[in-house]
Amino acid sequence: MDIHEYQAKELLSKFGVPVPRGGLAYSPEQAVYRAHEIGGPKWVVKAQIHSGARGKAGGIKVCSNEHEIEQAAQGLLGKKLVTIQTGPAGKLVSRLYIEEATDIDKEIYLSFVMDRAAERIVVVSSAAGGMDIEEISHSQPDTIIKVVVDPAVGMQGFQAREVAFGLGVDPDIVGKMERVILGCYRAFRDLDANMLEINPLVITKQKGVIALDAKMSFDENALFRRPQIAELRDKSQEDARETYANDRGLSYVGLDGDIGCIVNGAGLAMATLDMIKLAGGEPANFLDIGGGASPERVTKSFKAVLRDKNVKAILVNVFAGINRCDWVAKGVVDAIKELEIKVPIVVRLAGTNVEEGRKIIDQSGLTMISAETLADAAQKAVSAAKNAA
């Protein structure tokens, strides 16, 4: 789960990480009022969406007076901001963060990520922070500093100082850098984060260290014990298809194709996507209905898949172990009748109670395409989607 920049900064400040003063605004008038509250000669108007690279996309404006703030707010609110991370659809800007301007002397990149292969938290940093960090990571990989944290003891002060020295900061700032890095680590660890990125972490001309931007993602499986984090979720920034499915307990990931997939088991679902691609088609989604899918759950899966208007055919692929083919077959029949599904449906059943399941499909009187193998099912789904186009 992602959160907004202003939310991440509020969390980090509780762990001792310095952030600029700022306030939230939902209208141009409120943006001007926030600037008055903050005070100072300059302000930064920031679009709040779940994406990086906002600066390059025009989502961050430096303003020197009320008129500039109002114009910037009017230009951003209600706009779909398209960045290299949002894709062509972009994300809607419904709120702004008004922040005091900072006298920047040096920009640094700092992030904490979960390395699942190593089962460790890894600190990644670079002295070349800012908007061009992606290009720098490719062109100058030797400038990237990495420190692996042992979970048994946590991040130590000497490791934070090692990062600071590697970044080449002045000796009198090393102590401040150490406190910021350790504060970020504690926030990452204590809040069950998957990723924490500060780009840029700036050293000011007054020799301060401030998190000028902040991005955080959290482990959704741990939200049950982090209600204060779960409350920060902004569904308007998520894929509407994924939100609908996830709220109903379905493992769903939206894709760009036209063949909807309803499969039991993550591994089989991935294999199904691969077979569709191999057959010359494009899957519209990953959907795992789970091991004990009831007819009601199958119907919910159909509803989730059909929310994608690009779907031209649906492939149901079930290999029943804990599951039962007759349950799935009943769910398919009920869904077609209830939802009056018009797109072609390809059904491949195997495993527990497969004969009963096939009998339910055959005796339903509904038009469905049966398949014996996964390869056969994929070919028939691709063909059905092309004929329906």
Annotated binding site for ATP: 46, 99, 102, 107
- State yes or no: is 97 an active-site residue: no
Q: Is residue 134 annotated as a catalytic residue, yes or no?
A: no
- Binding site for substrate: which residues? 264
Classified as helix, coil or strand, 62 is strand
Within 8 A by CB and 6+ apart from 171, the residues are: none
Q: b vs e for 130-166, b when ≥16 Cβ sit within 10 Å of the residue's Cβ? A: beebeebeeeeeebbbebebeeeeebeeebbbbbbeb
Q: Show the beta-strand stretches assigned E in 190-344.
A: 193-204, 209-211, 215-218, 251-254, 259-263, 285-288, 313-320
Annotated binding site: 46, 99, 102, 107, 199, 213, 264
Residue numbers in the known binding site for Mg(2+) are 199, 213
Spatial neighbors of 297 by CB under 8 A, at least 6 apart, are: 249, 250, 289, 290, 331
Residue of 197, 242, 244, 252 marked catalytic: 197
For the chain, first and last CA: distance in Å?
Answer: 35
Catalytic position from the list 97, 109, 185, 244: 109
Cβ atoms of 51 and 4 within 8 Å: the answer is: no
All residues at 6 or more sequence positions from 172 whose CB lies less than 8 Å from its CB, including other chains: 207
135: CB partners within 8 A, 6+ apart:
none
Q: State which H helix or E strand residue 345 sits in.
A: strand 345-351
Number of neighbours of residue 82 by Cβ within 10 angstroms: 17
Tokens of 163: 């990062």
Catalytic residues: 109, 197
